[in-house]
Amino acid sequence: MELKTEERISTKKKVKLRVNATEDSGTGYQFDISFFVFQEGDVQIAYCPSLDLSTSGTDYIDAVKNFYECFQLYIESCLEMGTLTADLKAHGWKVTKKSITPPTARMQLRDKPMIELLEKNVNFQRIVAPVRLSTLV
């Protein structure tokens, strides 16, 4: 399996990530992964409630790049261990032979860390990145 990335970073700090996982065989799956970036103290945090993944960085761009690396390692590790489908389902994703559907944004906002952020009135930006996987195993 080979993972490739394209990153587009504009001066307005909007970031779009595209992840392509390719293998010699298998059915392709496409879905969107969303995560939130917010400031906590002197660092920027990138948090994905639908997978319970988080990273940090010294600035917005650094946090987003670190999140991409974290997500890529998560996918690679799960594929190596054959646990991706089970882990996605454990996090509330719907996985069938034909599709992968993440929890809705409304469900993600009900996640305890997200509730705490909302209660603190923390400003955050939601980023939605398209993902393509050639296989789930």
- Split at pLDDT 50, 70, 90, the class of 137 is low
Q: What is the mean pLDDT of residues 28-32?
A: 81
The pLDDT score that the predictor gives to residue 7 is 38
Question: What's this model's pTM, rounded to 2 decimal places?
Answer: 0.72
Structural domain containing residue 72: 2-133
Tokens found for residue 105: 């944004």
CA–CA dist 90, 87 (Å, integer): 5
Q: Are 137 and 27 in contact (CB under 8 A)?
A: no
Domains in the chain: how many in total?
1
| Backbone phi, psi, residue 136, to 5° | -105, -5
CA–CA dist 118, 88 (Å, integer): 25
136 or 30, greater pLDDT? 30
- Split at pLDDT 50, 70, 90, the class of 16 is very low
> Taking the CB of residue 32, how many other CB atoms lie within 10 A of it?
13
CA–CA dist 112, 123 (Å, integer): 17
The pLDDT score that the predictor gives to residue 77 is 93
Q: Are 75 and 31 in contact (CB under 8 A)?
A: no
- Split at pLDDT 50, 70, 90, the class of 12 is very low
What's the CATH code of the domain at 29?
3.30.160.250
Q: What does the pLDDT look like over 67-121, one tens digit per residue?
A: 999 999 999 999 999 999 999 999 989 988 878 888 876 676 676 777 777 777 7
CA–CA dist 89, 77 (Å, integer): 16
Q: What is the mean pLDDT of residues 121-133?
A: 84
1 or 26, greater pLDDT? 26
Q: Which residue has the tokens 């394209």?
A: 6
List the beta bridge partners of residue 17: 7
